[in-house]
């Protein structure tokens, strides 16, 4: 069994066999990480979160905020908040220069290790045009459950609402 803060070695490319791997460390996201987080956020999204939005989420006692590091450098993060009985996956981002190498999957796996209880529920919104993210979430058991019209302010794109229910025999 691997240590709780160490993810498995990830292949460099999901499209072909690779002998080179990334050593990925996943740990709690901290205020000190915010400069790197903001930089990734601005490269990753057309309508990035403000620094204040990250500060607010990090200040919540009932959230799970994770950082993914390669060679000590922050390359991705995840922000998930608890609202009453439901987890809301607020933000997942991987530096665009290192995407499609399993990092977002590793972050989601760690989230579910920490948060899953029997029949625990998770929800998220994702741009309807972000088919890669939708497929990723579907692989983790999320299913489309509705649409928020004109949810994204930058271009009035709809958001797909997705839900996941943890199995009755959850991992944590």
Task: Given the residues 77, 137, 152, 157, select the one marked as catalytic.
Answer: 137
Task: Given the residues 41, 77, 122, 125, select the one marked as catalytic.
Answer: 125
137 carries an active-site annotation: yes
Query: Quick one: CA torsion of 15, 112, 92, 85, rounded to 10 degrees?
Result: 150
C-alpha 170 chain-centroid distance:
19
83 carries an active-site annotation: no
List, by residue number, the catalytic residues: 125, 137
């Amino acid at each position: 069994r691997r240590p709780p803060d160490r993810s498995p070695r990830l292949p460099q490319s999901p499209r072909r066999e690779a002998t080179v791997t990334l050593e990925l460390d996943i740990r709690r996201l901290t205020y000190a990480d915010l400069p790197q987080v903001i930089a990734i956020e601005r490269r990753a999204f057309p309508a990035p979160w403000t620094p204040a939005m990250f500060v607010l989420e990090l200040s919540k006692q009932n959230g799970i905020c994770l950082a993914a590091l390669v060679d000590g450098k922050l390359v991705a993060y995840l922000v998930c908040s608890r609202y009453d009985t439901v987890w809301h996956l607020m933000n997942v981002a991987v530096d665009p220069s290192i995407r499609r190498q399993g990092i977002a999957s590793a972050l989601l796996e760690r989230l579910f290790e920490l948060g899953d209880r029997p029949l625990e529920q998770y929800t998220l919104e994702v741009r309807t045009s972000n088919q890669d993210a939708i497929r990723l979430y579907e692989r983790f058991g999320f299913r489309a459950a509705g649409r928020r019209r004109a949810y994204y302010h930058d271009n009035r794109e709809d958001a797909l609402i997705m839900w996941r229910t943890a199995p009755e025999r959850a991992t944590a």
